[in-house]
Amino acid sequence: MRQWWTVPGPDGGISELRDVPVPQPGPGEVLVQVAGAGVNRGELILRPALRSDNPNAKPSPSGNEFAGRVAAVGAGVTGWREGDRVMGRGRACQADYTLTPAEALMAVPAGLSDEQAAAIPNVFVTAHDAIVTAAQAGQEDAVLITAGSSGVGTAAIQIARYLGCRDVVATTTSPAKAEALRALGATHVADTSADGWPAALTDAVGPVDAVIDQVGGRLFPGLLEAMALKGRYVSVGRNDGAHASIDLDLVARQRLHLIGVTFRTRTPAETLACSQRFAEDLLPAFGSGALRPVLDRAFPLDRLADAHAYMLGNSQLGKIVLMP
Amino acid sequence: MRQWWTVPGPDGGISELRDVPVPQPGPGEVLVQVAGAGVNRGELILRPALRSDNPNAKPSPSGNEFAGRVAAVGAGVTGWREGDRVMGRGRACQADYTLTPAEALMAVPAGLSDEQAAAIPNVFVTAHDAIVTAAQAGQEDAVLITAGSSGVGTAAIQIARYLGCRDVVATTTSPAKAEALRALGATHVADTSADGWPAALTDAVGPVDAVIDQVGGRLFPGLLEAMALKGRYVSVGRNDGAHASIDLDLVARQRLHLIGVTFRTRTPAETLACSQRFAEDLLPAFGSGALRPVLDRAFPLDRLADAHAYMLGNSQLGKIVLMP
């Protein structure tokens, strides 16, 4: 079968399509025939460190989410059988087949295609963890979501709307995307490329109670300025860089909580718990149509390089997936 | 009676001792004859903004903690009677008498002098709120307390020790104070004026789970570097300035929580709740001697200027109080 790997190269990691045997599921494992595998920005962010002259750089199979059909189950697996339509977060998912612990599987909600299902796990689990578990946003809250047109952004806007949050503010630097963000549930779209955007935003909708941030960097100080007393800021991504300046007196005066989240340092049990909380809270909402995966474009499995190049162009709205 | 005010001046606020009538307690209020009133760094920090040319600068009576005796009770007050020894957080406390809502009063633990009791409310309520309510520190945690010889620092070290925290690290830039900090309960004293102190600290005691910070500024990045996965950083004060640089990737990777606290923006009910939680959790520990106020020096009421000058010298260990 085909399986994408990221391998060290002279100028950073490169993707390599390998031909490997189809694995067999061990006890508690399920073999899934992949029908769609998400492409994620993290794959690109990790590349620069993967230089051949770095002794810690090791090749690894890529892809951390999938949708597909159960092809075989290992000993002791109950609840899943061959042919079931499943999706989940995993590893080595950009491939014809992937192995996963049975507990990590979720049933594909009725009415969704394979590529739509492949666009769900990462961004919706990440956004749910940030909005519900970390920021604890509720109906009384105005929620600000940066990089609103990203995969996590489009999921977060919908989740905030679904939770009934008082206001759902999405930021973008592409005003052309504003209408699409409103269609997803944003009640206000802020153009953060404009000077004085935090004051303009708080004039329009008041200070915000929760920020789900994928940008960081130069945007960070303005995000804190836009926050209400006891606001919760969650750092999910850092597309504009990790280094920022902080006004600790503002943090104290507003009694803010700043919360860092990532899956990189979570144990397998912690990661699994995130998926399970998402499934319990939100999976039914896909069946009713209240939530929907936002798929921008699907590429054939062997065109990962094109998918990455397309992602770097920043023109997409929602997810990019590979289809074996 | 005498009552200290902070009034706008050409170069910032100045202290002025006024002669005012002794107030009478209204319904639910208690008049306390002050026997000791704490002096706090906040009084000095707020001064630069109090310039005569600032239209928002208004005179206000100073002092926000007291110990003394009940002199009179207002209508509807139960539980307190004339002569009771009391202490608490309040306003206009640097005076011969102060008025306070009855709910804000705490009984002075047996065995403590007036000046010792006056050294308790602010720093112990602040430290309890930071360690217990904000950082939620427990026995499994290593707690780092910056500015260990300050009033809040000496209270925080004792509270962390009393809670049974695994390690209690105090920082100081005055190695001469290290022995006194160990006597209060510090298991390790870190000299933050040394290059590479975060690595030296984590080599010695491992990464820390909670930071109670009164320094901020240039110390902030090193504090985050010293923290463990899921660590909680609490910004209580900013003696080295509010502006700092932050590595948001470190915050995410370590899944840190950064929490701002202050009494400036708390409602009276929120402030009162902090004192009540402190009293419930910790007041009995003063009676048993497990906790003790750390009094550096008492000045007569009319020598507030000398008390402020002494505080600016940074040579004290613990609290400075005024005694009418």
The residue ranges of every structural domain in chain B are 2-120+293-323, 123-260
Per residue in B240-291, pLDDT tens?
A: 999 999 999 999 999 999 999 999 999 999 999 999 999 999 999 998 899 9
Name the DSSP letter for residue A95: B
Q: State the Cα–Cα distance between residues B161 and A320, nearest whole angstrom.
A: 53
Among A244, A245, A259, the residue with its CB nearest the CB of B257 is A259
CB A11 within 8 A of CB A49: no
Residue to mutate among B238, B249, B261, with most A CBs inside 10 A, is B249
Among B250, B256, B260, the residue with its CB nearest the CB of A251 is B260
What pLDDT sits at residue B113? 95
Cβ-Cβ contacts under 8 Å, A216 against chain B: 248
Q: What are phi and psi of A127, to 5 degrees?
A: -70, -40
**Chain A: residue whose CA lies nearest to B219:** A248
Residue to mutate among A249, A250, A265, with most B CBs inside 10 A, is A249
Structure tokens at B171: 């920082």
Angle at A280 between CA A275 and CA A281, to 5 degrees: 100
What pLDDT sits at residue B163? 97
Check whether A44 has a pLDDT greater than 90.
no
Cβ-Cβ contacts under 8 Å, B247 against chain A: 242-243
A220 touching chain B per CB within 8 A: yes
User: B2-120+293-323 adopts what CATH topology?
Assistant: Quinone Oxidoreductase; Chain A, domain 1 (3.90.180)
A–B: how many Cβ contacts below 8 A? Answer: 104
Interface contact flag, A258 B252, Cβ < 8 Å = no
Angle at B175 between CA B262 and CA B229, to 5 degrees: 50
In chain A, % of residues over pLDDT 70: 100
Distance of CA A84 to the CA centre of its chain: 24
Among B246, B250, B260, the residue with its CB nearest the CB of A256 is B260
Helix or strand run (H / E) with residue B14: strand B14-19
Check whether A164 has a pLDDT greater than 90.
yes
Q: State the Cα–Cα distance between residues A18 and B137, nearest whole angstrom.
A: 49
CB A291 within 8 A of CB A109: no
Angle at B130 between CA A131 and CA B176, to 5 degrees: 135
Q: State the Cα–Cα distance between residues B292 and B184, nearest whole angstrom.
A: 9
Q: State the Cα–Cα distance between residues A322 and A307, nearest whole angstrom.
A: 8
Q: State the Cα–Cα distance between residues B233 and B273, nearest whole angstrom.
A: 22
* Number of helical H runs and strand E runs in chain A: 10, 17
Among B244, B256, B257, the residue with its CB nearest the CB of A246 is B244
Q: Is A105 helix (H, G, I), strand (E, B) or coil?
A: coil
Q: State the Cα–Cα distance between residues B275 and B3, nearest whole angstrom.
A: 24
B260 touching chain A per CB within 8 A: yes
Among B243, B250, B261, the residue with its CB nearest the CB of A245 is B243
What pLDDT sits at residue B105? 97
Q: Is A56 helix (H, G, I), strand (E, B) or coil?
A: coil
B245 touching chain A per CB within 8 A: yes
Cβ-Cβ contacts under 8 Å, A207 against chain B: none
Interface contact flag, A252 B238, Cβ < 8 Å = yes
Distance of CA B220 to the CA centre of its chain: 20
Q: State the Cα–Cα distance between residues B104 and B30, nearest whole angstrom.
A: 10
A213 to A135, A249, B289: CA distances (angstroms): 11, 21, 47
Q: Give start and end residues of each alpha helix (H) in chain B.
A: 41-45, 114-118, 121-128, 151-162, 178-184, 197-205, 220-225, 248-253, 268-287, 304-312
Cβ-Cβ contacts under 8 Å, A271 against chain B: none
Strand partners, A70: A32
B134 touching chain A per CB within 8 A: no
Among A244, A249, A256, the residue with its CB nearest the CB of B246 is A244
Q: Is the dihedral of CA B16, B22, B26, B31 positive or negative?
A: positive
Tokens 């962390």 found at: B160
Q: pLDDT category, A317, cuts 50, 70, 90?
A: confident
B18 touching chain A per CB within 8 A: no
Average pLDDT over every residue of A200-204: 96
Q: pLDDT category, A91, cuts 50, 70, 90?
A: very high
Other beta carbons within 10 angstroms of residue A297's beta carbon come to 17
Residue ranges for chain B with pLDDT beneath 50: none
Strand partners, A246: B244
Q: State the Cα–Cα distance between residues B168 and B315, nearest whole angstrom.
A: 22
Among A248, A256, A261, the residue with its CB nearest the CB of B238 is A248
Per residue in B168-205, pLDDT tens?
A: 999 998 888 999 999 999 999 999 998 999 999 999 99
Cβ-Cβ contacts under 8 Å, A264 against chain B: 253
Task: Report the amino acid identity of residue A153.
Answer: G
Helix or strand run (H / E) with residue B227: strand B227-235
| CATH architecture of structural domain A123-260 | 3-Layer(aba) Sandwich (3.40)
B267 touching chain A per CB within 8 A: no
What pLDDT sits at residue A290? 94
Cβ-Cβ contacts under 8 Å, B270 against chain A: none
What pLDDT sits at residue B245? 98
Q: For B109-151, give the DSSP string.
A: PTT--HHHHHTSHHHHHHHHIIIIIIS---TT-EEEESSTTSH
Q: Is A310 helix (H, G, I), strand (E, B) or coil?
A: helix
Q: Is B244 helix (H, G, I), strand (E, B) or coil?
A: strand
Q: pLDDT category, A13, cuts 50, 70, 90?
A: very high
Q: State the Cα–Cα distance between residues B118 and B67, nearest whole angstrom.
A: 5
Structure tokens at A212: 């789900």
What pLDDT sits at residue A173? 85
Q: State the Cα–Cα distance between residues B49 and A123, nearest whole angstrom.
A: 47
Parallel, antiparallel or unpaired: strands A208-213 and A227-235 = parallel
Average pLDDT over every residue of A184-190: 96
Name the DSSP letter for residue A9: B
B253 touching chain A per CB within 8 A: yes
pTM over 0.90: yes
Domains B2-120+293-323 and B123-260 share a fold: no
A120–chain B nearest CA distance, Å? 22
Interface contact flag, B255 A261, Cβ < 8 Å = yes
C-alpha neighbours within 13 Å on the C-beta side of residue B228:
16
CB B123 within 8 A of CB B152: yes
